Structure 1
Amino acid sequence: MTSPTALAGPRHACVIGAGIVGAATAHALAERGWRVTLVDAHAQPGRGESLGNGAQLSYSYVEPLATPDALKNLPKWLLLPDSPLRWRPQPRFSHARWLSEFVAACQWPTVRRTSEQLLSLAEESRRTLHRWLAALPGSAEATRHTQTGKLVIYRKPEALAGVQRQIEWQRAWGCAQAIVGADEVRRLEPALAATGGGPIAFGVWTATEEVIDAARLAVLLAQASGATLRLGRPVQRLVRDAAGRVVAAELAGGERIEADAIVMAAGPATVQLLKPLGARPPIEPIKGYSVSLPIVDDAAAPRVSITDNGRKLVHARLGDRLRVAGFAELIGMSRVLPPARIEALCQSVRETFPGACSFDDPQPWTGLRPATPSGRPQVGATRWPGLWVNAGHGALGLTLSCGSASLLADLMEGREPAVDPTAFRVTG
């Protein structure tokens, strides 16, 4: 079925945002014959929210942040000084609306429905990424892409029943996962033999999960797309014609890029750029942190991806560095790097993988993950002709980027997409 908003190619698209979502969108459109201009405020692709993300391609771990368990634990998390979650009230109606919709989404029927939709998009993302990488010689080495498998470790035995239910439910959606005991956890990842932070009760092993450097992947896809790059050039405003169609993006310095389609894939900046049009997409920035540490003892560092469920931290090996990432702060657009957060990440590595890394050059990072209350990204046409959106992926931006890019490109071409587009329609 052809969408009434679809555009017949070949046409010109201006994609705003050269992070992993924008670069993937540029590549998906170029693959379908579009001429693409890729715009970003940074001097290179992947230098914003994609630069230091957790690096895990977690296709089987897409449960949204909004769950009944999260709502139940929220008061405790907000009171703990070292809590993985922080919230600072913002004096904006959009913020209050986001919180209200988040609370409404914290119901198991909603969580299950959202998880099904995200699992479908994640599988499309896996297929698309693998196809792209196979067509680009040397891409695995360039992006540090490996199928390491993923271990989620649990330190509290009482979590087992709930985890068993989740795994059984996800099996119907093609997720091949296994619960393993503490001894098997250490066999799968010997570096966990000396772990601190409390004993390991059990783990969940998913052999098919992967890691990749999001920033390097963004560079690769931007280059492979053949897009005209306008980097280091922030967008000042979107331009409409007399009929109300969005026809151009105006950059700092006055340059105007006219295109048949303008695609907003600018992460949290998407909200600011759409605001003058009267748009209010339900997207809030959720701040996260990471450090990338040099590995000095190969045997003491993990080979598989590790998620510490209790601490809400992820660990991924990228070549000769270990990246540990975590925390979720709903505090506005602040990019300040508090030393306490970085030290908490470093301390986790000291305890979980003692002796594995040097802490002389930790390469700290913070990013603002654009999140919707439900956890579903917004992908598709807006109510303004000529304007499309691919944003709101939250912590799953890397995992879902190639799938959402493929979905958007299909919609822009009027093709029948592989996933249900109504689950990700643009609102606000």
Structure 2
Amino acid sequence: MTGSRAVVVGAGIVGAATAYALAREGWRVTVVEASAAVGQGASAANGGQLSYSYVEPLATPAALRALPGWLLNADSPVRWRPRAAASHWRWLGGFVGACRTAQVRCTTEALLALSALSRATLKAWLAEGLAAPSLQHRQPGKLVLYRHASARPGVERQLAWQRALGCDQRVVDAPECRQIEPALPELITRSVAFGVWTSSEEVIDGAALTRALVTASGADCRLGEKVVGFERRGDRVVGLRLAGGSVLAADQVIVAAGPDAAALLRPLRVPVPIEPIKGYSLTLPVRQAARAPQVSITDAARKMVFARLGPVLRVAGFAELVGHDRALVPARLAALREATNRLFPGACDLDAAVPWAGLRPATPDGAPRIGATRWRGLWLNVGHGALGLTLAAGSAARLVAMMRADDVV
């Protein structure tokens, strides 16, 4: 809508995709971000995988059964620090409720549809001129390693169900895992019971994509400016109040503020059930290319992912429900180093690792919240959890379609 002003709150991958999608529709876009640069939150150093076929939410019956063991094990991939906030306990109650099989199936089906839209949308955007070597975009496929044969029947049932929804995946035995990724040591494949191979999965540098989208949108970036409230006129949101006291007028406001969205929206009584789930990563220079993986690897038991992004290997993992704590915990980083050295010995310069920890905005059921609110002129694109990179383009496309249907676009 030429001449109309849309303001996007948040300059992570979801906000960047939203800004780009709106600019393509003719909007004048402003992006407001509390950080001093674009893509400094969960988009800064995430796992790098575009996992279009792996969208099952964290809340599942299997996760609920495993939860006591996870919480009692100090080295568990999942960690929880209880907080007194009522919203925290409501979220946990919602999470437990979302672990029902019927709910998981419903959520997974919705996420697969959104991921298919995201794949098609990002492909179109890259063809429009976004593609660049700096994005490190490839389609190497993804191999998920399972350590216990007892998991195979359940995995096969899941793949059969997803196949009916358009996912082309297959179970492979341990020797074929090594054929798919020769960098896996023979010793490791002896401990692997089976794998799941998805040849269509992709990788991309999320931070580079975030910057490219914001730049290509032509948005006016208000970096280092924190939104502290909303300007309202009747039942309509007409602008934002910034920390410095200024007011930023807008015809439409889209909140894509990740883990900060719930607190920002609370004064408007817009309920957004989001908890930050902390993850860690290492970015490791590749020292011996032949020993580093080419395909994406996921270690299912340890909940770690390995993605080759050109000259570096991105290793990411863990899920911690610890509030807004972004501290780099040495034991977690050491575990990522140890896992890398075990799976791909000699591949990377472990001493030159760049560590990172960030917060992924998760809803109890794993489904993002996209669309209108009770306030005219205020829209949501939040709650993507660990799937922000995968779902960002599709979420932006869906939001713009909703705005178009509402005669806003």
Q: TM-score range by the shorter chain?
A: over 0.9
TM-score, normalised by the number of residues in structure 2: 0.97
Q: C-alpha displacement at 1:234, in angstroms?
A: 1.8
1:420: which partner in 2? none
Change (3 A) 1:393 1:195: farther
Q: How does 1:373-384 map to 2 (within 5 A)?
A: 373-384=364-375
Question: Does 1:36 find its partner at 2:29?
Answer: yes
Q: Which amino acid aligns with 2:82?
A: P
2:207: which partner in 1? 215
Preserved contact between residue 56 and residue 211 of structure 1 (Cα < 8 Å)? yes
Preserved contact between residue 44 and residue 219 of structure 1 (Cα < 8 Å)? no
Question: Does 1:125 find its partner at 2:118?
Answer: yes
In 1, Cα distance between equivalents of 2:55 and 2:114? 10
Q: C-alpha displacement at 1:270, in angstroms?
A: 0.7
Q: SS in structure 1 opposite 2:196?
A: strand
Q: C-alpha displacement at 1:10, in angstroms?
A: 5.3
In 1, Cα distance between equivalents of 2:294 and 2:105? 31
In 2, Cα distance between equivalents of 1:310 and 1:318? 23
Preserved contact between residue 41 and residue 235 of structure 1 (Cα < 8 Å)? yes
Preserved contact between residue 2 and residue 28 of structure 2 (Cα < 8 Å)? no
Q: Which amino acid aligns with 1:135?
A: E
1:393: which partner in 2? 384
Preserved contact between residue 270 and residue 374 of structure 2 (Cα < 8 Å)? no
Partner of residue 334 from structure 1, selected from 309, 322, 325: 325
Partner of residue 284 from structure 1, selected from 234, 250, 275: 275
Partner of residue 150 from structure 2, selected from 145, 153, 158: 158
1:109: which partner in 2? 102
1:306: which partner in 2? 297
Q: SS in structure 1 opposite 2:82?
A: coil
Question: Does 1:199 find its partner at 2:191?
Answer: yes
Partner of residue 355 from structure 1, selected from 343, 346, 354: 346
Q: Which amino acid aligns with 2:5?
A: H
Q: Which amino acid aligns with 2:303?
A: K
Q: SS in structure 2 opposite 1:230?
A: strand
1:403: which partner in 2? 394
Q: Which amino acid aligns with 1:376?
A: A
Cα-to-partner distance string for 1:61-110 (whole Å, 9 max, x where unaligned): 00000100000000000000100001111111111111111111111111
Preserved contact between residue 197 and residue 352 of structure 1 (Cα < 8 Å)? no
Cα-to-partner distance string for 1:118-171 (whole Å, 9 max, x where unaligned): 00000000000000001116x241211100100001111111111111111100
Q: C-alpha displacement at 1:47, in angstroms?
A: 1.5
In 2, Cα distance between equivalents of 1:182 and 1:273? 48
Q: C-alpha displacement at 1:236, in angstroms?
A: 2.1
2:82: which partner in 1? 89
Preserved contact between residue 141 and residue 296 of structure 2 (Cα < 8 Å)? yes
Preserved contact between residue 175 and residue 189 of structure 2 (Cα < 8 Å)? no
Question: Does 1:265 find its partner at 2:261?
Answer: no
Preserved contact between residue 13 and residue 209 of structure 2 (Cα < 8 Å)? yes
Percent identity, please: 57
In 1, Cα distance between equivalents of 2:296 and 2:398? 28
Query: Once structures 1 and 2 are overlaid, which stretch shifts more, 71-80 or 41-50?
Result: 41-50
Q: What CA RMSD, in Å, does the superposition of the two structures yield over aligned residues?
A: 1.4
In 2, Cα distance between equivalents of 1:38 and 1:198? 50
Cα-to-partner distance string for 1:382-407 (whole Å, 9 max, x where unaligned): 11111111000001111011001001
Preserved contact between residue 10 and residue 35 of structure 1 (Cα < 8 Å)? yes
TM-score, normalised by the number of residues in structure 1: 0.93
Preserved contact between residue 195 and residue 353 of structure 1 (Cα < 8 Å)? no
Cα-to-partner distance string for 1:282-306 (whole Å, 9 max, x where unaligned): 1111111111111101011000000
Preserved contact between residue 194 and residue 354 of structure 1 (Cα < 8 Å)? no
In 2, Cα distance between equivalents of 1:205 and 1:288? 24
Q: C-alpha displacement at 1:44, in angstroms?
A: 2.1
Question: Does 1:239 find its partner at 2:197?
Answer: no
Gaps of 5+ in 1: 1-7, 417-428
In 2, Cα distance between equivalents of 1:363 and 1:237? 35
Partner of residue 167 from structure 1, selected from 140, 145, 159: 159
Q: C-alpha displacement at 1:244, in angstroms?
A: 3.5
Q: SS in structure 1 opposite 2:367?
A: coil
Which runs of 4 or more aligned residues in structure 1 lie more than 3 Å from their structure 2 counterparts after TM superposition?
A: 194-198
Q: How does 1:18-37 map to 2 (within 5 A)?
A: 18-37=11-30
